[in-house]
Amino acid sequence: MKKLYYSIGEVSKLTDVKPHVLRYWESLFVQLRPAKNKAGKRTYTEKDIEVVLQLKELIKDQKFSTAGAQKAYDKTVDDQEQSLPIGVKRELKEIRHFLNTLLNEI
């Protein structure tokens, strides 16, 4: 599903990160600052979703503290800027998510 903007509920379902955690991460990480529409609702972009997925991997999967995740995220971004184009990385993440879903169903 590719859209220009996603609601916090949609991002929560796509990333498996609860809305209150997303709001908390916004207060800690300057990289995660979704825009708000005229009604004050958060509007996440594909880039915001990528940030959420990277933070989720660092904090939940690799068990970094939030401070450690900030340092690791900054290093990861520096390394990624020298590697694959962002479109390729996004598609690889979608494939990984699909494969993990299949694995969980087995």
75 pLDDT band, cuts 50/70/90, is confident
**Predicted confidence (pLDDT) at residue 77 exceeds the cutoff of 80:** no
With bands split at pLDDT 50, 70 and 90, how would you rate the model's confidence at 61? confident
Stated length of the chain = 106
Measured distance CA(35)–CA(32) in Å, rounded: 10
CATH class of 8-105: mainly alpha
